[in-house]
Every structure is written in C-alpha cells, then in structure tokens.
Amino acid sequence: MSPADFIPVAEETGLILPIGRWVLQESCSQLRSWQEKLNLPDLTISVNVSGRQFLQADFIPQIQQVLAFSKIPAHCLKLEITESVLMETAVSVTEQLEQLRDLGIHLSLDDFGTGYSSLSYLHRFPVNTLKIDRSFVQAFSQDQTHIVKAIVSLAHSLTMDVVAEGIETREQLTHLQQLHCQYGQGYLFSSPVSSDLAEAMLIKAPWLPS
C-alpha cells in the first residue's frame, strides 16, 4: 500500500503518533543490529517524521529514549522533516531543532522545492541535507534543470548535502551527476525491500570490511 493512501488517514485520526514512535524504535533497533552484525559502526538510517509528530511536547524525550534503548550514536540517525514544519512560527520549532542538533542528530529537509521554501529559514535552522523532490527529477526540462542546479548550488553554499529523490533511469542519474548532486535514491537503485533483503544488499556492498 502506498504511503499516500494511509498516511493522510493516520494524520487525521491521530494514529500517526503511535505509528511514528514505533517506526523510530524499529528503525533504530534494526540499525543497531546491522552495525554490530556487519561491523558497520557508522551506518546511518533516515526516518520520516510528520509535522504533528515533530511538534509533540515530548518529542525530544522520545528521541532520547529511543537512542538510549537502541544504543546507536545520535549522528547515525537522520530525521526527515517537511518544509511546512520549518514554516511554523512557534518558538518551540526552533527550540526543537536546536535540541536535536545539540544531540548530534542530522536533519534533512524533505521534498524541497514544492512547499513554501524560505531562504531565511534555511540560514537560521540547523538543516544538514536538502532533498530535491522527485517532480524535478522525473522529466528533466530546461526549467527543471535550472531549478535543480540552483538547489544544488544553494545547498553547497550553505555546506549542506543534497539528495535527489525518485531516480529511475540511468539518464536521470547521469544528468544529476553532471549537476554535481551528491546523493540519490529511487527505483534505479532498489525498490522497497524487507530488512532481510536489505541486509543481503549490505553484505554485498563493496565497502563492507573484510
């Protein structure tokens, strides 16, 4: 089932909160298992966090609890948030981001370029990574190329990483490499897989220690 089908329902009913907490716990526990089993202590994992989840009063204690339980280093956890979260005017948003930064957690801005982006927010908040929305990658036009190039340049000038979403063809990958985009994700690399298959892929990875 596509997340587009069940995430809106989870948001409306409030179930996104227990689901989000479970996803964090399971993701960090699985990461710790891979780090130990495969001798990859610096392996990282990215977890999407909804705006509703992020704005909970006890969100930071939840993160601290998950890190303590899973015993993964904080810098190995990357939280992906949307632009709408940054646009919240509440002071608590700034405080939440600063506390996460102080813990050592990395922050990614998801689907960048499709929301209400504000350069002042990028400058103020401790975001580590910009993720270029798949809509700019799926069919490269001249205008889209200019936009992607601008996002990449902006990210690099702010010492951020850049990840392109939705890469499905070699042509798209080559184009993004020519634009100096550092990282990518999409079906060209892999469709969604189970933890067992993901582990098998990690075992075959060329960087795995002997």
Q: Which of 70-74, 94-98, 122-126 has the highest mean pLDDT?
A: 70-74
pLDDT score recorded for residue 61: 95
Alpha carbon distance 195, 193 (integer Å) = 7
pLDDT score recorded for residue 210: 47
The answer to whether 155 and 162 are in contact (CB under 8 A) is yes
Residue type, 194: S
Alpha carbon distance 123, 137 (integer Å) = 25
If pLDDT is split at 50, 70 and 90, which confidence band does 57 have?
Answer: confident
pTM of full prediction above 0.85: yes
Residues facing residue 161 across a β-bridge: 129
pLDDT score recorded for residue 122: 78
pLDDT in tens, 126-177: 889 999 988 888 877 788 899 899 999 999 999 999 999 999 999 999 999 9
pLDDT score recorded for residue 167: 95
